[in-house]
Structure 1
């Protein structure tokens, strides 16, 4: 029985699982999105989100702690330089998991895990947001010039008529 067991062992030993999550995390940081199984994606989310939180404050201690988990110099550099800049304003929830269906070979549940701030499809940009004005029912509609209004305008005075005739 698995009473109170909170970690998904993924059918691997501790060292194998640690290496797997380390490699997946490095690939996620470098490529910003990866496709893997759903169980691995959920385990990766638990592994990588605390690292992303550490990366928000760039100091030597946090770099050393993150390097202790990842063991990959270029991934740590990318994390602290590029990724941390984008996620600085976000209070949490740095990753998104999207289910993709089953893999044809072994019917394993596939999932796409991505960094939320690096997907332009879901982001709201200032140019795409409409500026709407409040509409009220008071005051009615603005009237446009119609044929009835044109006929209702007073005819030109005789002095204006004489000037127009003289110009011709």
Structure 2
């Protein structure tokens, strides 16, 4: 019997479901919000709340847990340095789901997942590479 066990299953299989959740987590942490289907949003919310709860206290066991679940050292660092301190005083409910309605293409219900508390993520400034005018002139002459 599955008393008290809540698992959202996706039709692609167990391994594919884990990968989908990992990708959703990394994209959510990078952007701070994500728009997806309601089923994926519910699975993401419960998964994120568990990960955020572990990021409140910084120790080796929690770091290993996050590393096993996420699989990306940069994301684990973001959890401990940027997300953990913001939610340290909170006891739960770190994310919220906002229903958006149906998609036009296939009619599936969509939802937006976002942080319930203002989490400011530091983003690196994008480095723009400038193309020198000499190279542009040379390519025009060759034609």
> What TM-score, normalized by structure 1, do the two folds share?
0.66
Q: Which has the higher contact order (CA 8 A, sep 6+)?
A: 2
Residue matched to 1:123: none
Find runs of 4+ consecutive structure 1 residues off by over 2 angstroms.
Answer: 2-6
Structure 1 CA distance for aligned equivalents of residues 65 and 19 of structure 2:
16
Q: Is the 8 A contact 2:83 2:119 kept in 1?
A: no
Listed as ranges, the matches of 1:8-157 within 5 Å are 8-118=8-118
- In structure 1, the gaps of 5 or more residues are 121-168
Relative distance call for 1:58 and 1:89 in structure 2 (3 A) is same
Structure 1 CA distance for aligned equivalents of residues 11 and 3 of structure 2:
17
Residue matched to 1:156: none
- In structure 2, the gaps of 5 or more residues are 121-143
Residue matched to 2:123: none
Q: Which structure has the larger Rg over C-alpha atoms?
A: 1
RMSD over aligned Cα atoms = 2.0
Structure 2 CA distance for aligned equivalents of residues 54 and 4 of structure 1:
21
How many residues align structurally?
Answer: 119
Structure 1 CA distance for aligned equivalents of residues 5 and 11 of structure 2:
14
Deviation sequence 1:69-120 (CA, Å, 0-9, x none): 0001111111110011111111100000000011110001110001111279
Deviation at 1:63, TM superposition (A): 0.8
Structure 2 CA distance for aligned equivalents of residues 4 and 59 of structure 1:
29
Relative distance call for 1:119 and 1:70 in structure 2 (3 A) is closer
